């Protein structure tokens, strides 16, 4: 069994789908791993490190893909790379199907079995494979670090002979994995932290981290899968008023609100930005999905009304070494549990985790969300 690891070609993508550690584990399962040259450089992994772990270095993608039964990636490969994948091979990665529906036809054209790992059902058995959680954790951490770097003041309270420096106030919008990590990081830095989420269940988690929970009383707020759901118009109006009143007192806002398969909800209006103090910072982690603030510009840092807006669309890639390490472990757990048996490739097609992530198979789109 041959597994190919691709060099990511999307601009700004520094992660890689396998590390020397995961290569060793895959080799122990009986796999031959072929890594495209330079695939790990963005994550500080040299080709020689892969070779020492037992992998073969391929000069280019076409060579790496030759005869591979499994292809590992982080982001969706380009159409010309997909064309070089062997028929009936398995492509595994964060394929972003909502934003790349056109690639479904390419998977089917080349009879690729495509697995989108971000569609894993949110059940306990999937935790070790949960790429969204591992990457969002780092995104929440990095968001605070970037915000602090752009903020022109100290974060913790400091008492000096020359006077006292007041602690910074940080508001986190959305208390999912990224938001909770942002709260924890901001607290460690000494900020006064508050957080908002549409899900009442998030209150206990937020308060357990030492932050104040700001809420609009509501029923529900989350889907059966644990994701935030779109709320009523009445709720949205109350939410808007609450955020508007809160945001004017903040120094830093970390915005993380996403709804799977839909544009990011607008939480921070231009009018709210105008009310913020000069020198304040907003980090919009929803930039890739349109942003939680209309003033956010994807992959840019801009200043509007005296407020710095940071809109990096791929925050995990800014912590590439750890992001790749966690992602590679997620991928290995998915492979070893569901796809590779003692006699080689043995896909458990009827497993709910396989069915939940499988987009296309045998030239046909099979995922119920995209048929």
Contact 324, 40 (CB under 8 A): yes
Mean pLDDT value across residues 331-340: 92
User: Does residue 106 share a domain with residue 70?
Assistant: yes
**126: Cβ contacts below 8 Å, ≥ 6 apart:** 120, 353
Domain with 97 in it: what CATH number?
Answer: 3.40.50.720
Would residue 133 show up in a list of annotated catalytic residues for this protein? yes
Assess if residue 129 is contained within a domain.
Answer: no
User: Does residue 345 share a domain with residue 308?
Assistant: no
Would residue 113 show up in a list of annotated catalytic residues for this protein? no
Which of the following is catalytic: 34, 69, 113, 133? 133
Least confident window among 166-175, 213-222, 339-348: 213-222
Nearest to 307 by CA among 188, 197, 152: 152
Residue 260 reports pLDDT greater than 80: yes
The Cα 268–Cα 196 span in angstroms is: 12
Would residue 21 show up in a list of annotated catalytic residues for this protein? no
* Residue 185, token pair as written in the block: 């990081």
User: Does residue 349 share a domain with residue 286?
Assistant: no
User: Does residue 215 share a domain with residue 325?
Assistant: no
User: Does residue 145 share a domain with residue 110?
Assistant: no
Assess if residue 299 is contained within a domain.
Answer: yes
Which of the following is catalytic: 107, 130, 141, 284? 130
Would residue 122 show up in a list of annotated catalytic residues for this protein? yes
3-state secondary structure 287-313: HHHCCCCCCCCCCCEEEECCEEEECCC
Which of the following is catalytic: 48, 60, 127, 234? 127
Residue 342 reports pLDDT greater than 80: no
Among 298, 313, 328, which residue terminates a domain?
313
Residue 238 reports pLDDT greater than 90: no
User: Does residue 234 share a domain with residue 156?
Assistant: yes
Residue 219 reports pLDDT greater than 80: no
Mean pLDDT value across residues 124-141: 97
Residue 222 reports pLDDT greater than 70: no
Assess if residue 367 is contained within a domain.
Answer: no
User: Does residue 162 share a domain with residue 74?
Assistant: no
Assess if residue 99 is contained within a domain.
Answer: yes
Residue 322 reports pLDDT greater than 90: yes
Would residue 351 show up in a list of annotated catalytic residues for this protein? no
User: Does residue 339 share a domain with residue 308?
Assistant: no
Q: In 166-274, at which residue ranges do the beta strands (DSSP E only) sit?
A: 169-173, 192-196, 212-214, 252-255
CA angle 365, 369, 371 (to 5 degrees): 35
Return the pLDDT at 231: 65
Assess if residue 368 is contained within a domain.
Answer: no
Which of the following is catalytic: 32, 86, 227, 351? 227
User: Does residue 294 share a domain with residue 229?
Assistant: yes
Model confidence at 215, in pLDDT bands (50, 70, 90)?
A: confident
Output the pTM of the full model: 0.92
User: Does residue 301 share a domain with residue 234?
Assistant: yes
Assess if residue 41 is contained within a domain.
Answer: yes
Model confidence at 289, in pLDDT bands (50, 70, 90)?
A: very high
User: Does residue 191 share a domain with residue 326?
Assistant: no
Q: Render pLDDT for 72-82 as a digit per residue (tens, 0 to 9).
A: 999 999 999 99
Q: Angle 177-188/131-150 helices, nearest 10 degrees?
A: 40
Find the domain containing 55 and state its range.
2-119+320-362
Assess if residue 185 is contained within a domain.
Answer: yes
Q: How many CA atoms lie within 13 A of 295 on its CB side?
A: 22
Q: Render pLDDT for 4-21 as a digit per residue (tens, 0 to 9).
A: 999 999 999 999 999 999
The sheet with strand 301-304 has its strands ordered as 212-214, 192-196, 169-173, 252-255, 281-284, 307-310, 301-304
User: Does residue 294 share a domain with residue 198?
Assistant: yes
Which of the following is catalytic: 122, 229, 235, 313? 122
Assess if residue 128 is contained within a domain.
Answer: no
Domain count, the chain: 2
């Amino acid at each position: 069994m041959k597994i190919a690891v691709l060099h990511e070609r999307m601009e700004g993508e520094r992660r890689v789908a396998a590390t020397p550690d995961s290569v060793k584990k895959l080799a122990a399962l009986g796999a031959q791993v072929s890594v495209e040259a330079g695939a790990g450089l963005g994550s500080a992994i040299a080709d020689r490190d892969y070779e020492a772990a037992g992998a073969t270095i391929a000069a280019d993608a076409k060579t790496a893909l030759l005869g591979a039964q499994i292809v590992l990636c982080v982001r969706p490969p380009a159409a010309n790379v997909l064309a070089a994948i062997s028929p009936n091979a398995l492509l595994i990665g964060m394929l972003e199907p909502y934003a790349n529906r056109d690639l479904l036809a390419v998977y089917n054209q080349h009879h690729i079995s495509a697995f989108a790992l971000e569609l894993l059902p949110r059940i306990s058995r999937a935790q070790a494979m949960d790429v969204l959680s591992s990457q969002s954790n780092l995104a929440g951490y990095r968001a605070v670090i970037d915000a602090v770097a752009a903020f022109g003041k100290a974060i913790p309270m400091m008492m000096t002979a020359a006077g006292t420096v007041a602690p910074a106030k940080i508001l986190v919008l959305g208390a999912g994995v990224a938001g909770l990590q942002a709260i924890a990081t901001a607290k460690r830095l000494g900020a006064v932290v508050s957080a908002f989420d549409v899900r009442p269940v998030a209150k206990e988690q937020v308060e357990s981290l030492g932050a104040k929970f700001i809420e609009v009383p509501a029923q529900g707020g989350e889907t059966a899968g644990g994701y935030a759901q779109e709320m009523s118009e009445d709720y949205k109006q109350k939410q808007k008023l609450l955020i508007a009143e809160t945001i004017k007192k903040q120094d830093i806002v970390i915005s993380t609100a996403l709804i799977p398969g839909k544009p990011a909800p607008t939480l921070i209006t231009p009018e709210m930005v105008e009310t913020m103090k000069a020198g304040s910072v907003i980090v919009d982690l929803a930039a890739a999905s349109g942003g939680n603030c209309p003033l956010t510009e994807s992959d840019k840092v801009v200043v509007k009304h005296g407020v710095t807006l940071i809109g990096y669309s791929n925050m995990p890639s800014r912590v590439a070494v750890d992001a790749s390490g966690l992602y590679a472990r997620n991928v290995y757990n998915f492979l070893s549990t569901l796809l590779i048996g003692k006699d080689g490739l043995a896909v458990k097609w009827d497993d709910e985790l396989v069915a939940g992530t499988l987009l296309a198979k045998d030239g046909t789109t099979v995922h119920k969300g995209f048929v």
